[in-house]
């Protein structure tokens, strides 16, 4: 694919995602709120927690491995 086309498509998708997040705060359909900003924030917080948990497990495994030596 053409590099300029890829850059253009990426930029359009990025701008589109930001606009959807900005304007979705007031969307209600079938009694459900479609607030993508809140969903993205929850996903980011969950990812941060899983990252800390995995780093903790890594250190525990490294400590157990050092105990065997």
What DSSP character marks residue 34? -
Give CA–CA dist 19/12, Å, rounded: 11
* pLDDT for the residue 3: 84
Nearest to 37 by CA among 48, 29, 26, 47: 26
Alpha helices in the chain (DSSP H): 3-23, 36-68
pLDDT tens, position by position, 20-64? 888 877 777 887 777 888 888 899 999 999 999 999 999 999 898
């Amino acid at each position: 694919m053409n590099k300029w086309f890829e850059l253009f498509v990426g930029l359009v998708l990025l701008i589109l995602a930001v606009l959807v997040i900005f304007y979705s705060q007031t969307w209600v359909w079938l009694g459900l709120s479609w607030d993508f900003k809140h969903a993205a924030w929850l996903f980011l917080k969950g990812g941060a927690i899983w990252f800390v948990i995995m780093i903790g497990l890594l250190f525990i495994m490294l400590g157990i491995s050092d105990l065997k030596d």
